Amino acid sequence: MGVPTAVLASSAFQDTPLPLAISGVRQTNAALFAMLHDARSASDAVAAFRIYMRAVFDLDAPPERDAAGRKRYRANYQRLLRGWGFDANGKEGAVLKGWVESRFGLLPTFHKEILGRYPSPAWMTYTEEKMAARFHNNCILLQLDLLYEFAQRFLRRWLYPGRSHLTLYRGVNDFGEHLLVERLDRRRAVVRQNNLVSFTTQRDVADQFGDTILEVDVPLSKILYCNAMAPGPVLRGEGEVLVIGGDYRVRLGYL
């Protein structure tokens, strides 16, 4: 990665971001990025990514069964994303937060409850869920590495060429899941987001989730996933975007 965690988490990085890459992923998956280079449209790029992931990780294979005839779970990045869409504080959410922790060094601040000092019952629950053996097969962390690297190529070439940031929104009723780092004035603050957090591109959608609206300019380099990267919505909301956290300058709107 090459960027210290403290810098990556800082509001200064969010203001003036650098491109990020997970070490070795593009080099060891050169065939995928050659396919993306040759893609002539966003839909071609999405198709290339899906074909590569299905082939390399055998995602379409029928489930294996153990000696007792029970199905063995085959880890799949799309199942993790769907699980997040259903409940960001579920086991799939813990695995995704664990991936961010592993690759970017950013610790989660919330999982089911505030994660305070370590160790604590809350931390033990999170650790057990992120390490669940059911999800850690079929090279799931590499799948997520490739998802991130695809997102970076896709966002910059097809969705938002020439842009460094994307304005996103999140509705909250209180700051229970967010640490208020600094109150700049009534309408502006620095807020610490969880290490992985959902935003939306649509303010009217954010209105449905809280009476305080956080408006944030998110660097493209901090985006893991949006529904445009797959055919059909994987997350519940079409405008939902998964963002890698840290301290963000936010503009506060009120209903």
pLDDT digits (tens, 9 = 90+) for 76-103: 999 999 999 999 999 999 999 999 999 9
pLDDT of 177 > 70? The answer is: no
Distance CA 49, CA 106 (A): 27
What does 186-246 look like in DSSP terms, one character per residue? TTEEEEEEEEEEEEES-HHHHGGG-SEEEEEEEEGGGEEEEGGGSSS-SSSSTTEEEEEEE
Q: Is 45 in the same domain as 132?
A: yes
Distance CA 241, CA 53 (A): 21
Burial 45-76 (b: 16+ CB within 10 A, else e): bbebbbebbeebbebeeeeeeeeeeeeeebbb
Q: What was the pLDDT predicted at 255?
A: 63
Which positions ≥6 away from 180 have C-beta within 8 Å? 189, 190, 191, 192
pLDDT average, residue stretch 42-71: 84
Q: In this structure, are 36 and 127 located in the same domain? A: yes
Give the mean model confidence (pLDDT) for residues 8-12.
95
pLDDT at 249: 96
Give me the amino acid identity at 154.
F
List pLDDT tens digits, range 127-146.
999 998 888 889 999 999 99
Same domain, 174 and 145: no
Domain boundary residue, one of 159, 185, 208: 159
Q: Quick one: which of 140, 201, 214, 129 has its CA closest to 171?
A: 214
Same domain, 85 and 173: no
Check whether 67 has a pLDDT greater than 70: no
Amino acid present at 250:
V
Q: What is the pLDDT of residue 208?
A: 85
Question: How high is the pLDDT of residue 23?
Answer: 93
Q: Taking a C-beta distance cutoff of 8 angstroms, is the pair 175, 194 a contact?
A: no
pLDDT at 2 over 80: no
- Asked whether residue 132 falls in the same domain as residue 72, the answer is yes
Q: What is the pLDDT of residues 142-173, one digit of tens each?
A: 999 999 999 999 999 999 999 999 999 998 88
Give CA–CA dist 114/178, Å, rounded.
9
Q: Which of 44-48, 175-179, 238-242 has the lowest mean pLDDT?
A: 175-179
Average pLDDT, the chain: 91
Q: Is the peptide bond before 119 cis (omega within 30 degrees of 0)?
A: yes
Number of domains in the chain: 2
Confidence grade of residue 70 (pLDDT, cut at 50, 70, 90): low
Q: Which of 159, 175, 199 marks a domain boundary? A: 159
Percent of all residues in the chain with a pLDDT value above 90, rounded to a whole number: 70
Are 139 and 105 in a shared domain? yes
Query: Do 138 and 169 fall within a single domain?
Result: no
Q: Which domain holds residue 54?
A: 5-159
- Helix (H) or strand (E) run with residue 154 in it: helix 140-154
CB-based burial label for 206 (10 Å; 0-12, 13-18, 19+): buried
Residues 135 and 175 grouped into a single domain: no
Residues 221 and 160: their CA atoms lie apart, in Å, by: 12
